Amino acid sequence: MLADLTSADLSDSPLVTAAGWVSESAPSVITGYLFADPLRLDQGGPVAESGAEVASRIRATVRYLMDLDFQFGGGHTRKMLLFYWKTEIVPALRQSYPDFVRREVFAAAADAAQVLGWSAYDAGRHGAAQRYFVQGLRLAREANDQLMGGRILSNLSHQANYLGNFSDAVQFARAAQAATGGKVTRP
C-alpha cells in the first residue's frame, strides 16, 4: 500500500495532490491501533543477514534527509525521501528477520513514514499526509513500538486541529495518551 502511495506521490498523481483529510477514518484508525493484534507480516523467505544494519541505515538516512529539510526548508528533500522509501525501505520490509530485528526494521520504517507524513503535510498534501501517518501507525503497531504509535497519533491530532477538524483532533490526542500509557518518550 505504501509503495503505491509513494509512487502516486512521486508522479504527482491527482489522487494524491487533490486528496483531502478523511474525517470518517478517525474512529477506525484509533480502534485499529489501540485494540488490534499486530499483523505479523511474514514473507516466509530466507532470513536476511543484515537486518539490524538495515534498521540503523534507515534511521540514519531519514535523520540526514530530515536535517537537510530543516536546513533548507520544507520540501527540500521530499522527493529523495519518497524515492528512498520506494527503493530501499519497502524492499527491506518484505524481507524475513528474526523477531527482535524485525521489530527494529518496522520501527525504523514507522519513523520514516512519519517523516513522509510531515513532508506531505508541509507540501499541503493533507490526504497523503494522513495516509502516511496511518501507515506509519500500522508499522509502529507491527513493531510493538507504543511510543512511536503515540507520537503518530499525536501528529494526526495536530494535523486534524490545523485543518479545523477539532473533534478528530481531540479523539487522536486521547488515543495518543492511551497508547503511551504514561511511558516516557525517547530523546
The CATH number of the domain holding residue 96 is 1.25.40
Specify whether the CB–CB gap between 58 and 143 falls below 8 A.
no
* CA gap 87, 100 in Å, rounded: 23
Residue 156 located in a structural domain: yes
Q: What are the pLDDT digits (tens) for 117-170?
A: 998 898 888 999 999 999 999 999 999 999 999 999 999 999 999 999 999 999
Residue 118 located in a structural domain: yes
Residue 44 located in a structural domain: no
Residue 139 located in a structural domain: yes
Residue 55 located in a structural domain: yes
Residue 159 lies in domain: 2-11+20-36+49-180
The Cα-based distances of 166 to 38, 109, 136 in angstroms read 29, 29, 22
Say which residue, 115 or 73, is predicted with more confidence.
115
The pLDDT score that the predictor gives to residue 54 is 92
Residue 41 located in a structural domain: no
Say which residue, 3 or 123, is predicted with more confidence.
123
The pLDDT score that the predictor gives to residue 47 is 47
Provide the number of structural domains found in the chain: 1
Q: What are the pLDDT digits (tens) for 84-104?
A: 999 999 999 999 888 889 999
